[in-house]
Structure 1
Amino acid sequence: MPSPSVSEIISCLSGYDPDALTVEQAQQIVRQCVAPVDSVERLALRTALGRVLAEDIISPINVPAQDNSAMDGYAVRAVDLLGEGPVDLRVVGHTHAGMVHESAVKAGECVRIMTGAPMPEGCDTVVPQEFVLTVTETTVTMPAAVAKVGDNRRLQGEDLREGTPALLKGRILRPADLGLIASLGIAEVPVRRRLRVAFFSTGNELRSLGEPLDPGCVYDSNRYTLYGMLQRLGCDILDMGVVRDDEAALEAALRSACENADVVVTSGGVSVGEADYTKQVMARLGDVKFWKIAMRPGRPMAFGRIASNGKAAWLFGLPGNPVAVMVTFYFFARVALLRMMGAQSDQLPVLRAASQSDIRKKPGRTEYQRGILSQDSSGVPQVRITGAQGSGILRSMSEANCIVILSHQQDSVKAGDAVDVLALEGLI
């Protein structure tokens, strides 16, 4: 079933105003529009790191396969330890991981056992070697009641039972997951195909690295931050360079992008006074809405779906200022891309920290301040702003380790007040 269009989603919203959209409204529209890609491929386990699991991994075996020892020590029958004084047991064997003690252990007997070795038949408990009083070649003496039934024994299937889910689809596979899958004897995993994302910057004033910097021009930084953010998400990336402020050039770039990618991300060209021909081009190519979002930085943004020659892609038209392009990517595009990748909902944890200074703010917009999160002498989280917060000051993002989120209705903050903080490490 095809995804609903932006216009269809918007028609169901009450109070929709493209010139006064809240962050939450814009996020809701984006979330309802996009859907996961369908294609699935099977990969060798070693090449699956960072990919999105397309199906549940069901354990074909019990892990561990048998009851085994969690300690180096002696496998015993707990009932033999119930006397009031020290207990002498006869040592009838030694067993290590990968070995099986062949005979059943009888009353008054025990087996020297190493960590990971299967529990001998008849034994239900392991006494750690450091708890033993004396040892000879054939006997061992232990304190009475030194262990209870089941102590230091790992049960069959304690980690995973045969037939139960080990990992659920939508998980972005991490190093521990590769080890878990390997422990089940599974060599290949089904994953969603990589999302293809094309991106470019717009503006006559932009120069690529290696080009001379003419008067009034700047080097294009946005493509490099976008590249880094997309690379971290594990996307297949198509860098289309800088597109000049020209209607024909923009249309050609957008057509090429949507014919070769699932998503198109642009930076620049969506602000007031810049977007007239941009709107015309995007209107010819599809259903794109231009928004003024009640947020700082990043007020102007375009979102929609464009098509060319039978191919279609979702479009994120981000602002041109360096900080604004990163903030809008993190809080709008990133969640949409993860959803299209088939990833499970990725709600990043918001922390509370005490502001180290006053922060001026008026209710009526969401603000994203760049901050440095630390702890005071008592270990209580605290945060300070990096300095000037202009949307063109990329250094503020480079120095920051978190983003301070000041909500739509929030007023100014006094030093010592608690504020919401999102660690950048979770994003980048």
Structure 2
Amino acid sequence: MLTAQQALDHLLSHAKAVEQTEDVPMQAALGRVLAQNVNSLVDVPPLDNTSMDGYAVRSSDTATSGAVLQIAQRIPAGSVGVQLEPGTAARIFTGAPVPPGADAVVMQEDCALVEGSIGEVQINVAPTAGQWIRRRGEDLSAGKTALSAGIFLRPQELGVAASAGLTHLNVKRRVKVAAFFTGDELALPGEPLKPGGIYNSNRDTLLACLRSLGCEVTDLGIVPDRLDATRQALRDASKHHDLILTSGGVSVGEEDHIKPAVTAEGRLDLWQIAIKPGKPLAFGAVRKSNEPKDGEAWFIGLPGNPVSSFVTFLLFVRPFILKLQGREAKPSPSYMMRADFDWLKADRRNEFLRVKLNQQGGLDLFPNQSSGVLTSASWGDGLVDCPPGQPIHHGDLVKYIPFDALLT
């Protein structure tokens, strides 16, 4: 069996970014992947402006504290002042352009109106040149790259694009994923359970994971535990999708038909990896038709146990999809954290334990680490990556991977 890293390297070596792109309005670009660099149409900010409410001054007029200046003008945001003459100050408000001649802003808390005078202000703190001034183009310069191709567009990236003057963005088309689930014991929530039946939790978990990554998802439902039905589902799914994702049927029992079905309809390159939970993981491709020119759809088969399915999605399917999207498939972000538990029954496989951060800055372990206990993933906020054959003692530093970083 391959190690987790070997399996991931194998998957990523095959993934190629989709080529098709489209222009979409800004508000339709959230959760998409930028297809080309975006250059700013304007300088941001367009003029030197103040970051504080206060008074724009000449620092040469206020070299010592206590200087008294005549208030010569008032500049709210959206207005432009005139030349600031020596011995004068401009009342100015956050975001307003600094008038020509001024080279510093003194915040209003450091100033006081002179009692009994007509429009005079006392500067109680001597400013330095450039104080509280945001320079023209210090955020973005016209013609320079504002956003780089390949980034996942979050709200903050849309804000940057808007400040650069853009109304539309060129993005990669969404990765198209077809998903189906095998198991005659499965039923959908709301349906009556037959004897020996269970509700299909993997469907909602995996479809939500796919959508959280911005995929276009087709739900093909539950497929009967028959070879012919599994082959037909693969043929149907391959025609208009980049990736086929399944759950269940990847073990070696008589009712597990994924392996022979994929072999008959395409090819299987990987089968089983040395991790727990999640040993059965299948990777290959399914022909789109009998014509080689029509190409293939990638195939990933996940285990049927709900924790195994969820964990293998995060560790293997997610980075594969990121690369299909044209994003950088970075290693799972991890942190060295203190284990506030013992895990002494080390397995020969790489284990991924469900844990939660506690108020003492350590990690607590969910008491039942069975691959069928999905509440462990809901209770927890991450995984501990436990190397093969390595026990964990209370107080050890362990590799912690937070769930939050694995779901976008």
TM range (shorter): over 0.9
Determine whether 1:88 maps to 2:64.
no
Determine whether 1:76 maps to 2:60.
no
- Superposed counterparts of 1:229-308, under 5 Å: 229-274=209-254, 277-308=257-288
Structural RMSD (CA): 1.7
Which residue is 1:3 aligned to?
none
Counterparts of 2:173 and 2:112 in 1: how far apart (Å)? 60
Q: 1:419 aligns with which of 395, 398, 401?
A: 398
Equivalent position amino acid for 1:414 in 2: H
Task: Tell me, yes or no, if the aligned pair for 1:131 and 1:146 is still in contact at 8 Å.
Answer: no
Q: Deviations over 1:222-277 (max 9, x none)?
A: 11111111111111111111111211111100000011211000111111234875
Equivalent position amino acid for 1:326 in 2: F
Task: Tell me, yes or no, if the aligned pair for 1:48 and 1:189 is still in contact at 8 Å.
Answer: yes
Q: 1:134 aligns with which of 113, 116, 121?
A: 113
Which residue is 2:36 aligned to?
55
Which residue is 1:44 aligned to?
25
Task: Tell me, yes or no, if the aligned pair for 2:250 and 2:303 is still in contact at 8 Å.
Answer: yes
Q: Deviations over 1:131-183 (max 9, x none)?
A: 1143343322223x611011011101111112221111111111122222111
Task: Tell me, yes or no, if the aligned pair for 1:69 and 1:152 is still in contact at 8 Å.
Answer: yes
Which residue is 1:187 aligned to?
167
Larger mean Cα displacement after TM superposition, 283-292 or 40-49: 283-292
Which residue is 2:333 aligned to?
349
Counterparts of 1:105 and 1:24 in 2: how far apart (Å)? 64
Counterparts of 1:277 and 1:100 in 2: how far apart (Å)? 73
The two structures have a TM-score, normalised by structure 2, of 0.94
Task: Tell me, yes or no, if the aligned pair for 1:198 and 1:261 is still in contact at 8 Å.
Answer: yes
Equivalent position amino acid for 1:65 in 2: P
Larger mean Cα displacement after TM superposition, 212-221 or 112-121: 212-221
Q: Secondary structure at the match of 1:260?
A: coil
Task: Tell me, yes or no, if the aligned pair for 2:315 and 2:332 is still in contact at 8 Å.
Answer: no
Counterparts of 2:255 and 2:273 in 1: how far apart (Å)? 15
Q: 1:321 aligns with which of 299, 305, 315?
A: 305
Which residue is 1:333 aligned to?
317
Q: Secondary structure at the match of 2:17?
A: coil
Determine whether 1:359 maps to 2:343.
yes
Counterparts of 1:219 and 1:66 in 2: how far apart (Å)? 61
Equivalent position amino acid for 1:80 in 2: D
- Superposed counterparts of 1:110-129, under 5 Å: 110-129=89-108
Counterparts of 1:159 and 1:192 in 2: how far apart (Å)? 26
Q: Deviations over 1:53-93 (max 9, x none)?
A: 1111111111000101111111111111224x621212211
Which residue is 1:9 aligned to?
none
Which residue is 1:17 aligned to?
none
> Measured at CA, do residues 201 and 26 of structure 1 come closer, stay the same or move farther in structure 2, by a change above 3 Å?
same
Q: Secondary structure at the match of 1:79?
A: helix
Equivalent position amino acid for 1:75 in 2: A
The two structures have a TM-score, normalised by structure 1, of 0.90
Equivalent position amino acid for 2:155 in 1: P
> Measured at CA, do residues 275 and 30 of structure 1 come closer, stay the same or move farther in structure 2, by a change above 3 Å?
farther
Q: 1:383 aligns with which of 347, 363, 371?
A: 363
Matched residue count: 401
Larger mean Cα displacement after TM superposition, 312-321 or 104-113: 104-113
Task: Tell me, yes or no, if the aligned pair for 1:199 and 1:265 is still in contact at 8 Å.
Answer: yes
Equivalent position amino acid for 1:302 in 2: A
Cα deviation, residue 347, structure 1: 4.0
Q: Deviations over 1:83-106 (max 9, x none)?
A: 4x621212211111111113x222
Structure 2 unaligned blocks of 5 or more: none
Cα deviation, residue 288, structure 1: 1.1
Percent identity, aligned pairs only? 39
Counterparts of 1:165 and 1:197 in 2: how far apart (Å)? 32
Counterparts of 2:159 and 2:257 in 1: how far apart (Å)? 53
